[in-house]
């Protein structure tokens, strides 16, 4: 592309082509945050289940706070490597999704801190929050697997209520695996397919 | 009656840059270079012209040790772009279709 004047038709074609090119970028690599947070939640759930079950000491619930630590480090590394390998671009949808998860993240953190002082069923509430975030993300990017998995996550919030004991920690981990990791892999697969 | 086409936008590279920036929130220099295929020197000159006209905002920062130039369209730029497209429509006689 150079600094030259255009015909009117060529102008319209250029505008359309540039807008389409920028739009494609929107879906690429969208699965990575789902994978980072999904795997972090799943493995930390297994860790908490193991220690609480083996020792009977509920102080091991402090390990849940490993999720924001692992997730934040993962996101930082992923963003840095993405910016290194390709030009940086941020579109409106990415900003909206970023804000949704920022609010959900703060709500989840506040709830977890609250649960450290007062005992209440925190896991169903977390599933509901994560399910809401996932469903809104799916609806925003118009991607069915994410919408469906988000609804599954929301619906699953009743399971830990029904289930007694430490088993609900495992259920929480498995639901997060279904709700975040599976759609994350599908999103990445679709992204790779577009580039072939 | 034909509307006049804004000469600042009626150039291939500047229009390309504006079309990218109108469809995203912000984009850096590397992204613009990838999408337009133009040389770094040429892009520098054109984004400077667009910035002087108040159509875009340029923020220079750092990504690790490298400098990063991030461009963002302004409201004035959005208005100019919309007027340009309206003018194009009058030339191509597709207004109101």
Please tell me the predicted confidence (pLDDT) of residue A27: 56
Q: Cβ separation of A22 and B91 shorter than 8 Å?
A: no
Which one of B6, B17, B19 makes the best mutation probe of the A interface by having the most chain A beta carbons within 10 Å?
B19
Chain B: closest CA distance from residue A195 (Å): 15
Question: Which band of pLDDT confidence, cut at 50, 70 and 90, is reported for residue A172?
Answer: very high
DSSP B13-71: HHHHHHHHHHHSSEEEHHHHHHHH---HHHHHHHHHHHHHTTSEEEEEEEETTEEEEEE
Please tell me the predicted confidence (pLDDT) of residue A63: 92
Note the pLDDT tens digit of each residue in B54-71. 999 999 887 767 788 899
Note the pLDDT tens digit of each residue in A87-122. 777 888 888 889 999 999 999 999 988 888 888 888
Q: Is the distance from CB of A137 to CB of A98 less than 8 angstroms?
A: no
B35: which chain A residues are within 8 Å (Cβ-Cβ)? 18, 21-22, 87
Instruction: Name the 3-class secondary structure at B73.
Output: strand
A93: which chain B residues are within 8 Å (Cβ-Cβ)? none
For A10, which residue in chain B has the nearest alpha carbon? B12
- The residue ranking higher by pLDDT, A75 or A1, is A75
B91: which chain A residues are within 8 Å (Cβ-Cβ)? 8
Question: Which band of pLDDT confidence, cut at 50, 70 and 90, is reported for residue A23?
Answer: low
Closest C-alpha among A115, A135, A123, A142 to residue A179: A135
Q: Cβ separation of B13 and A86 shorter than 8 Å?
A: no
Please tell me the predicted confidence (pLDDT) of residue A125: 92
Question: Which band of pLDDT confidence, cut at 50, 70 and 90, is reported for residue A9?
Answer: confident
Chain B: closest CA distance from residue A128 (Å): 30
Q: Cβ separation of B25 and A6 shorter than 8 Å?
A: no
CA-CA-CA-CA torsion sign (B51, B56, B57, B58): negative
Euclidean distance between CA atoms A84 and B88, whole angstroms: 38
A14: which chain B residues are within 8 Å (Cβ-Cβ)? 12, 15-16, 19
What's phi and psi for B22, nearest 5 deg? -75, -20
Euclidean distance between CA atoms A169 and A166, whole angstroms: 6
CA-CA-CA-CA torsion sign (A127, A129, A135, A141): negative
Q: Is A89 on the interface with B (CB under 8 A)?
A: yes
Instruction: Name the 3-class secondary structure at A155.
Output: helix
Q: Find the CB nearest B11 among A5, A86, A89.
A: A5
Please tell me the predicted confidence (pLDDT) of residue A174: 93
Note the pLDDT tens digit of each residue in A27-82. 566 789 999 999 999 999 999 999 998 898 888 888 999 999 999 999 989 887 77
Chain B: closest CA distance from residue A127 (Å): 31
Please tell me the predicted confidence (pLDDT) of residue B1: 60
Q: Is the distance from CB of A89 to CB of B28 less than 8 angstroms?
A: yes
Q: Is B61 on the interface with A (CB under 8 A)?
A: no
Enter the tokens of residue B44.
Answer: 């520098």
Q: What is this structure's pTM?
A: 0.77
């Amino acid at each position: 592309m150079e600094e030259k004047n255009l015909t009117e038709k060529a102008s319209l074609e250029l505008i359309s082509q540039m807008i389409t090119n920028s739009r494609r970028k929107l879906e690429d690599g969208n699965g990575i945050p789902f994978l980072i947070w999904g795997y972090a939640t799943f493995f930390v759930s297994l860790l908490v289940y193991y220690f609480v079950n083996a020792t009977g000491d509920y102080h091991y619930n402090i390990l849940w706070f490993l999720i924001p630590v692992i997730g934040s480090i993962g996101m930082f590394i992923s963003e840095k490597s993405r910016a290194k390998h390709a030009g940086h671009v941020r579109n409106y949808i990415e900003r909206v999704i970023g804000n949704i998860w920022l609010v959900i993240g703060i709500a989840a953190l506040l709830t977890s801190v609250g649960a450290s002082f007062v005992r209440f069923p925190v896991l169903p509430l977390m599933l509901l929050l994560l399910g809401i975030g996932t469903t809104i993300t799916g609806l925003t990017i118009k991607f069915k697997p994410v919408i469906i998995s988000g609804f599954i996550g929301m619906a699953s919030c009743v399971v830990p209520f029904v289930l007694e004991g430490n088993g609900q920690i495992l259920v929480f981990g498995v639901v997060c695996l279904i709700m975040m990791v599976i759609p994350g892999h599908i999103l990445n697969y679709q992204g790779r397919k577009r580039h072939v | 009656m034909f509307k006049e086409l804004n000469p600042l936008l009626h150039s291939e590279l500047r229009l390309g840059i504006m079309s990218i920036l109108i469809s995203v929130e912000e984009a850096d220099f590397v992204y613009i270079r990838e999408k337009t295929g133009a040389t770094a020197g040429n892009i520098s000159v054109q984004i400077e012209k667009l910035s002087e006209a108040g159509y875009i905002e340029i923020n220079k920062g750092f990504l690790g040790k490298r400098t990063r130039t991030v461009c963002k369209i302004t409201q004035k730029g959005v208005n100019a772009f919309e007027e340009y497209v309206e003018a194009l429509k009058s030339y191509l006689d597709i207004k109101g279709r």
